[in-house]
Amino acid sequence: MSKYNYLVIEGNIGAGKTSLSRMIAEKFNARLILEQFAENPFLPKFYRDPGRYSFPLELSFLASRYHQLHRELTSPDLFKSFTVADYFFSKSLIFSKITLQVDEFNLYRTLFDIIHQQLPKPDLYVYLHVHAEKLLNNIRQRDRDYEKDIGVEYLEKLQEGYFEYLRSLQDQRILILDVNELDFVGKERDYLSVEEAIFHGEYRKGLNRLQLP
């Protein structure tokens, strides 16, 4: 029996958050919420021309993330032990701050603040920390056409954006899990190390950092 009702696994692009969420959900019979990013028609256009498509992309993600999380989190599944998601609604704010112009972001922030408070907060927010170079290698290996123009600089900006936001969440339990030396998808012992840290660690509200060997 999990001590969490709602667990979030987050991370930069290519950190392995979706893979880990799937593995946890399968092992613990948890309800799985996966971000539906591949269905967003603006995503390939954004990577080709960020200046033109950043605002419609971020607005479409804001709407789709809210509708998905609100639908899933307000309709409990009695046959599942808990819920695990591979993203948190706040990633909308993190990405938009990097991609939007100042005036666009100010408008976007107003919309975000209106609807953000309507969603439940996770019992634990896990951020998988991976260096940008390794993230880029992971992205190249999965070979998604619309991700081919992602560079280290963009990944580093996202990383900084995540850390800045996470430092502000003093009323939530945040676990920054350094997994640079692990292959939790390919090696069972590495996965078990991550599982142990998530489900058996005791974490205070605010930032908690843990580097796994």
Q: Which residues are catalytic?
A: 86
Angle formed by the axes of helices 188-200 and 17-28, nearest 10°? 80
Report the amino acid identity of residue 198.
I
Compute the average pLDDT of residues 54-82: 91
pLDDT attached to residue 170: 87
48 touches 41 (CB < 8 A): no
For the chain, the domains span 14-187
Q: Is 174 exposed, middle or buried (0-12, 13-18, 19+ CB in 10 A)?
A: buried
Please tell me which of 42-46, 124-128, 149-153 the model is most confident about, judged by mean pLDDT: 124-128
pLDDT attached to residue 86: 97
Q: Where residue 1 falls among pLDDT bands split at 50, 70, 90?
A: low
Comparison of pLDDT for 104 and 75, the residue scoring more: 104
Q: Is the dihedral of CA 143, 148, 154, 156 positive or negative?
A: positive
d(CA 103, CA 109): 10
Q: CA dist 170 to 13, 127, 165, 199, 206, Å?
A: 24, 15, 10, 21, 4
pTM, two decimal places: 0.92
Q: Quick count: other Cβ atoms within 10 Å of Cβ 169?
A: 16
Compute the average pLDDT of residues 54-66: 94
Assigned fold of 14-187: Rossmann fold (3.40.50)
Q: Where residue 81 falls among pLDDT bands split at 50, 70, 90?
A: confident
